[in-house]
Amino acid sequence: MSHITPEPPVARMRDAMECICQPMFLIAVDRQQEMRFVGLNAEAEHQTGLRNADMAGRTPHEALPVRMADTLLANYIRCLTSAASYAYEEVLELPRGVRHARTTLSPIFSDGAGLPRRVVGIVGVSTDITDHKHDLRHLTAAKAHLRRQCEDVATAATAMAQRMRGPLSLILS
């Protein structure tokens, strides 16, 4: 693990994200575009079970399982190359279990000081949507069940209407 000294805008963001009660993580991007975690805030540690001490200073591949690191790094690279915010949904296998998250990555730019601005970091904000996804699956299943019941009622009503037009309906009228 190499030592990382984040550029001033990234260091300022590190201090600020501890004051926010939303899971956040911070990545430093060096001039060769290598990415290393600067850290997670306390809320991210609490919700994910990942530890800041295990993440800080490490690349995604040093800190996470290969498949997860590959996926996350692809998202980080997309944010880096576009130099724009990028939001997506993801499923993560974390120490606290499998979680669905809506994550937004935002680039952090260098101060400039006469030099061209470049992305020196990425801040990520994740919202746990696991319960929402669970509820959505249940609502979708309930809707499909209700649709089948409505179709059954419509079929029964059609059959009854056809029977009423038969010989019995003539006698009754």
Of the listed ranges 30-39, 73-82, 131-140, 159-168, the least confidently predicted one is 159-168
Averaged over 123-128, what is the pLDDT? 94
- Given this model, what pLDDT does residue 13 score? 82
Residue 137 pLDDT exceeds 90:
no
- Reported as a single tens digit per residue, the pLDDT across 60-92 is 999 999 999 999 999 999 999 999 999 999 999
Q: Give the sign of the dihedral formed by CA 157, CA 162, CA 165, CA 171.
A: negative
pTM, two decimals, is 0.75
CA nearest to 108, candidates 27, 15, 2, 23: 27
- Given this model, what pLDDT does residue 104 score? 97
- Given this model, what pLDDT does residue 134 score? 82
Residue 21 pLDDT exceeds 90:
no
Residue 138 pLDDT exceeds 90:
no
Averaged over 99-103, what is the pLDDT? 94
Q: How big is the chain by its Cα radius of gyration, in Å? A: 27
Give residue 169's identity as a one-letter amino acid code.
Answer: S
Between 113 and 69, whose confidence is greater?
A: 69
Q: Which residues pair with 128 in a beta bridge?
A: 101
For the chain, what percent of residues have pLDDT higher than 90? Answer: 51
